[in-house]
Copies of this chain bind each other. A is one copy, B any other.
């Protein structure tokens, strides 16, 4: 919803909001059983909670749109993912816990294979092993570009992050990736004066890198895309009036939370520690984002049983989550990752909201019952307005 309206309606009342994101939560039924992962799993604690909650399905970004982690989370945080488009370079940097400065320009890099004519024969360098690509990245660190600092960080396989650090750089730099085999990497070009200067430096870097990698077998070239600066998103405290904490194990999600002004708290060991950390910091914050990764990982692996198992594991933490005593407790997902697709998908995602103002009576926590729930099928970006209302943090609109 419109942030000016949020700022106008919000009021402070000391209430607490908890959002649990089960990454890639939604699924699809196995043809043999006609049961989805959630329907198969023994999630008795969630189902007990569901019976005293309002249920619905969230549309992560738009009908038919399969979101990445960035837009999926931003929507649940209340940020329109079409309006707030986080550059790929920034997401990659955030995902490896790289601290971007305000003037840095970050890009997502791919190592690739060039043939003897300099045309791309493999866009991902045969998904080169991380130990090989890490050494290559170390080579690239030796590159000097006139007037700026160049930082290169490995990510995984063929992926790396390039950061240009210096004054007056622009991020409106075009991709060097021709997006197909048999073409040469493109020269970067700038969309404005600062970015034109930056593009020259990017091309200088690429030329030196290609020279350095000439002897490599697999990864003798590279492409760059998603040039972006650290975005200045409206901050949680300012928009929603909430001091927000993020309890996430993986850097990507801590980074996303930081983008909107949440404070990531250390909890590297997983759910038990995440919940304990929330409890220890209960008085310092009004909003707690708790991220659970295993559902998505199992879904991406195409492992139906592992996804069922991950849901059952999460379910065992539900009593402790309820014991936190939040005024509003939400459980949802940033997108669906059906094991049958082994990938993110566009399917609406089961969502549950518990507070003392719910109608309840909606059934169990799965795709079928959530579609018939009190909340209906609604845009994920609206979930925060529901949370604020249920927390008593919105004044009446109009007389």
Contacts and interface: CB of A to CB of B under 8 A. Distances in A.
A61 interface: yes
Interface stretch (A83-91, A192-200, A210-218): A83-91
Contacts of A384: 64
Contact of A398 (B9, B68, B368): B68
A67 B386 CA distance: 14
Interface string A56-97: 010001111111111100000000011001101001100000
Contact of A376 (B5, B57, B346, B382): B57
Interface in A320-345: 338, 340-341, 344-345
A363 to B, nearest CB: 11
Identical chains bound together, number: 2
Given A86-B398, A389-B64, A372 B375 contact: no
A357 interface: yes
Interface string A358-399: 111110000110011111111000101111111000111111
Interface in A1-51: 1-2, 5, 9, 28-29, 34, 36
Tell me the interface secondary structure of chain A in the complex: loop
B92 A399 contact: yes
Interface residues of A, number: 67
Contacts of A347: 357, 359
Given A359-B347, A367-B359, A85 B398 contact: yes
Given A2-B82, A63-B385, A345-B389, 13 more contacts: A57-B374, A61-B397, A62-B385, A63-B378, A63-B386, A64-B385, A66-B389, A66-B395, A67-B397, A88-B399, A346-B389, A361-B368, A376-B376
